[in-house]
Amino acid sequence: AGAVEEAAMRAFAAILALAAAAVSAMPISRRAISMDDVKSGRVGSSRLANRLGASGKVVIDGFDDAQWYGQISLGTPAQDFLVIFDTGSSNVWVPSSTCTQSACSSKPKYDHTKSSSYVANGTKFSILYGSGPVSGFLSEDSFSVGGLNVPDYTFAEINDVTGLGPAFSMGKFAGIAGMAFPTISVDGLPTFFERLVDTGAVTVPEFAFYLEPASGITPATTGELVLGGADPAHYTGSLTYVDVTSDTYWEVALDGMSLGGKSVTSTKKAIIDSGTSLLAGPTDEVKAIAKAVGAKPFFLNPNEFTVDCSAIDSMPNIDVTLGGKNFTLTAKDYVLNIENVECLFGMTGIDVPAPAGPLWIMGDIFIRKFYSVFHLPSSAHPKGAVAFAPVRA
C-alpha cells in the first residue's frame, strides 16, 4: 500500500464502552482498531442496521472490534467474560464450552458442568446477523455484574459464531449483554437489567453511560456504566429527558439536525445506541453533510469519509435537536483524529426502510460528548426516556 493508504489504515479508532454497578464503579477497557481491521474484514456491517433491514453499513460499531467492554460473571463459582454492553439488542450470550470452532479457541467459554447453580434449558437459540447466524442453546445460571446479582438468569450458550466472522476471533469481547427492550429480545427473554429491577437489586429503573470526553482519542481510557441511576460527577448542568417513542430500540423523536445553522435532515427519529461507534443516517443526507464539510469518500467504501486534519478548526458545528434542545457537536467531536495523520469523518450512511426507518443512529460519537441516561418505562415516562447532559471534562 502507498503512504496515503498506510496512513488511512491508522485512521479508524474504536470508542469503547464501560460498566459499573449502582454502588461500585467497574472500569471498562478499550481496544482501538486500525484500518487493517477494516481491510481484512475483521470489522463488518452494523448489527443494529442489519436487524432493522438497512441496506447500507455502519462501518464500525460496538458489535465489531470497536468496543467498550466490561465484565459479567456467570455460574457458581463465577466464570468471567468481557462483553459489549449494547443498547441496540436485548439478549445476553457468551461462548459455550461446546463450541469447537477455531474462533472460540482463544475465548473464555462457559462450562455449565463446572457450575453448581446451573439449570438446564436446552432450547435452541439463534440470532441472524448481516454476515450470518450466531446460534447455540439457552441455559440458566446465576448472573452478576458490578457486584449486583440475578440468581436465575436465562442466557444463551453459543456454539456457532460463524455470523461474526473474524470480528469475534480477533476482538477482545467474548459475548454481548443487550440493554434494549424485551420486545426485541429473541425468545422474549427478559433483559438482565429488567431482572435487576424486578428482583430489587436496583431501585432506580435507569442506567447511564459515561464515555471519555471527545477531546481526542487516547490509547487507554476507562468509562463507567451505572446500573440503577446516574452519576452527577460525570456531567454538568441538568439532564434533558426525551421520551422514547418506540419500546423496541431506544428510539426518540429527532426534532432536527443542522450544520452551521442550516437544516440537513428531514428524518424524524433517532436511536441512541451504545453499540455503534459513529453517527449513522440516510445515505443521501450523510453524503450531503460530508460534502458540505469537505469530507472525501474513503477508498475502501464510498459510505465512509475522511477529512483534511488541518481543516478541523474551520469546520462547522453540527446541532442535533432532541426534546427541543440543541446538542452541539464540534468538528473535534465528530472527526476521529489519529495523530494528525489521517482523520475520519464520524458519520456513515445507512438506509433503513419503512416502517422502522428512515432514522439516524446516535452512536458513541454522540454519547461520549453527552452523558446518556436510559430510563425504563415509569409513570413519568410511560414508554421510557433517554436523558442527556454535557459530559464533565
Would you name the residues annotated as active-site residues?
Answer: 86, 273
DSSP class of residue 227 equals: E
The widest CA-to-CA distance across the chain, in whole angstroms, is: 61
Amino acid symbol at 295 = A
Residue with cell 483524529: 337
Rounded Cα distance, 195 and 153, in Å: 8
d(CA 197, CA 104): 32
Residue carrying the nine cell digits 437489567:
193
Non-local (6+) Cβ contacts of 310 within 8 A are none
Are 248 and 183 in contact, with CB atoms under 8 Å apart? Answer: yes
Residue 49 in contact with residue 74, Cβ under 8 Å? no
Q: Is 303 helix (H, G, I), strand (E, B) or coil?
A: strand
What residues contact 6, with CB distance under 8 A and at least 6 apart? none
Question: Would strands 240-247 and 262-263 be described as parallel, antiparallel, or unpaired?
Answer: unpaired
Would you list the DSSP string of 15-75?
----EE-SSSEE--EEE---HHHHHHTSS---HHHHHTT-SS--SSBTTTTSEEEEEEEET
> What grid cell was written down for 337?
483524529
Pairing of strands 269-272, 360-362: parallel
